[in-house]
Every structure is written in structure tokens, then in C-alpha cells.
């Protein structure tokens, strides 16, 4: 109970004009939740990137699609991420998920909204989040990806839908090899009920998650959605 109360309170704080990273007060911060100094520490993905998974192609800028996307059939159309998963970004995401820094959803949500605007990445019928298994959700107290998706929903004319459930309490993906990640998530997701098929049929759906590593999680969710009639599936993560 204490953990749930703490999570609820952290959804409300910190107040406006305080940077959520360094806690400095700055009247110019307002609803951005981050000062310019801390924003500069977040390493953005730029330059030549894979048109499917957003992986950097600095080693060969003439490429359009990376080797991974050439070798593996992706069930999603495109996945985008504003930041590299390292340094300050990596620590912030870790604290958001495992250290009860629930209020970081405001900062991350703001950054994702700005990224979507700048990249014209808003033409979707529905937005959804990668589901957590009920055991993990109970332990953590919140779904970090759902908080982000619900934040984004407020800024665009995209309705949030809760259509998938995680039926297997899978091992943590970051502990596994690429092959083990794929095996770990086989049959891990399913539709909540068959009535959802009519809801998603022919629709373009955006999936929100925190990190894109190999793309296995996004891919498995996309497979289920497309099998049940979704037209196209896209993804947006904080980092990769």
C-alpha cells in the first residue's frame, strides 16, 4: 500500500519550473520539466539512420536499411527513438522504472511529444503501450510505457487503447542474448478479447515502449495486432 501511495504522490511532483534531473529552479522551465543544461546532456540520435528501426548508420551513411532489418522480417513498419540508450538517458530510464521516479513520465512524455511534432510522426488511429505481466505490474505499481502513452494521448487526436495482455511472466530481456530474447517472448502476448479485432481492423497503431534494443518486444506485439487485422504498426521508444 505504501508503494502505491508513494507512486501516486510522485505523479504529482515535482512542481513546475523545477528541473526533474538537477532540481534547479528556473522560471523558463514551466511544463518542459528540464533545464537547458540537462537537456544538452541527453544524447540525441541524428545523422544517417535505418529507415525501419532508427539504428545509426554512421559506419555506412549510404545505406538506407541496417543489416538487422535486412536479415530479419519486421512486423512493424517503422520504429523511432529520440535518444541513445546510454549515459544520462540510461540512468534516467533506470530510475524511472526501478527507483520509483514515477514523475519522470512528465519529462519523458514532453520529450516524446516534441519529437513526434518535429518528425511529423502523428498520423495514427490509435496509441497503445507494451503491456506488463500482472505480477510485474503489481510489483512495480505502474506500467512505465502506459504512463507515456497516456501523456502523449493528451496532445494529439489519437485515442489510447488497451488491447494486448502479457500472458507469460517473461525473464528480463536485458539479461538475454538476441536469440534468447526472441525465444523468451514467443507467445508472450495475446489480445485481451476477440471483440478487439473489430476495433483494430484496418487501423494504424502506434506502440509506445521505453527502450528499443533488438526490437523483439515491438515485433511480437506487432505480429499479434496484424494477425488480428491491424493495417500498419509503428513504434516509438525513448531510446535505443
Mean residue pLDDT of the chain comes to 89
- pLDDT at residue 2, as a whole number: 45
Give burial (CB, 10 Å; 0-12/13-18/19+) of 86.
Answer: exposed
What is the value of pTM for the model shown? 0.88
pLDDT for position 31:
79
pLDDT per residue over 27-70, tens digit each?
Answer: 888 778 899 999 999 999 998 999 999 999 977 767 899 999 99
Distance separating alpha carbons of residues 192 and 10, to the nearest angstrom:
29
Burial 102-131 (b: 16+ CB within 10 A, else e): bbbbbbbbbbbbebbeeeebeebbbbbbbb
pLDDT at residue 188, rounded to an integer: 86
Distance CA 133, CA 136 (A): 5
Residue-wise pLDDT for 173-207, tens only, equals 556 555 565 565 678 899 999 889 999 999 999 99
Coil, helix or strand at residue 143 = coil
**Overall size of the chain counted in residues:** 240
Name the grid cell of 197.
479485432
pLDDT at 149 over 50: yes
**Structural domain spans, the chain:** 43-239
Return the biggest CA–CA distance within the chain.
54
* 101 within 8 A of 10, measured Cβ to Cβ: yes
Q: Note the Cα 89 to chain centre separation in Å.
A: 13
Q: What is the pLDDT of residue 235?
A: 99
**Average pLDDT for 86-97:** 96
Give residue 97's pLDDT.
94
Instruction: Tell me how far CA of residue 80 lies from CA of 119, 158, 235, in angstroms.
Output: 10, 17, 6
What pLDDT does residue 8 have? 56
Note the pLDDT of residue 18: 87
Measure the CA dihedral 7/142/41/116, to 10°: -130
164 three-state secondary structure: strand
More confident residue, 148 or 16: 148
Contact 127, 159 (CB under 8 A): yes
43-239 is classed in which CATH architecture? 3-Layer(aba) Sandwich (3.40)
Helices (H), the chain: 2-12, 36-39, 67-71, 87-98, 104-118, 134-140, 144-153, 178-184, 196-200, 216-227
Segment 135-143 mean pLDDT: 93
If you average pLDDT over residues 11-18, what whole number do you get?
Answer: 64
The SS3 assignment for 95 reads helix
The answer to whether 85 touches 97, Cβ cutoff 8 Å, is: no
- Min mean pLDDT across 29-33, 86-90, 119-123, 145-149 is at 29-33
Please give the pLDDT value at position 9: 47
Amino acid at each position: 500500500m505504501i508503494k502505491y501511495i508513494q507512486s501516486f504522490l510522485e505523479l504529482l511532483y515535482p512542481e513546475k519550473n523545477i528541473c526533474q534531473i538537477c532540481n534547479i529552479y528556473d522560471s523558463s522551465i514551466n511544463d518542459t520539466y528540464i533545464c537547458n543544461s540537462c537537456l544538452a546532456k541527453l544524447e540525441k540520435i541524428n545523422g544517417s539512420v535505418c529507415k525501419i528501426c532508427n539504428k545509426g548508420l554512421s559506419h555506412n551513411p549510404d545505406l538506407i536499411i541496417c543489416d538487422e532489418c535486412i536479415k530479419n522480417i519486421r512486423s512493424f513498419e517503422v520504429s523511432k527513438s529520440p535518444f541513445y540508450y546510454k549515459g544520462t538517458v540510461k540512468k534516467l530510464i533506470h530510475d524511472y522504472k526501478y527507483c520509483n521516479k514515477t514523475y519522470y513520465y512528465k519529462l519523458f512524455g514532453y520529450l516524446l511529444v516534441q519529437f513526434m511534432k518535429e518528425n511529423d510522426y502523428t498520423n495514427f488511429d490509435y496509441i497503445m503501450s507494451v503491456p506488463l505481466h500482472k505480477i510485474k505490474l503489481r510489483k512495480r505499481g505502474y506500467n512505465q510505457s502506459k504512463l507515456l502513452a497516456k501523456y502523449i494521448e493528451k496532445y494529439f487526436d489519437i485515442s489510447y487503447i488497451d488491447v494486448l495482455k502479457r500472458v507469460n511472466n517473461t525473464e528480463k530481456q536485458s539479461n538475454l542474448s538476441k536469440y534468447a530474447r526472441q525465444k523468451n517472448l514467443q507467445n508472450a502476448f495475446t489480445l485481451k478479447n476477440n471483440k478487439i479485432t473489430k476495433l483494430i481492423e484496418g487501423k494504424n497503431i502506434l506502440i509506445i515502449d521505453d527502450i528499443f534494443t533488438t526490437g523483439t518486444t515491438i515485433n511480437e506485439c506487432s505480429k499479434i495486432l496484424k494477425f488480428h487485422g491491424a493495417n500498419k504498426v509503428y513504434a516509438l521508444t525513448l531510446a535505443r
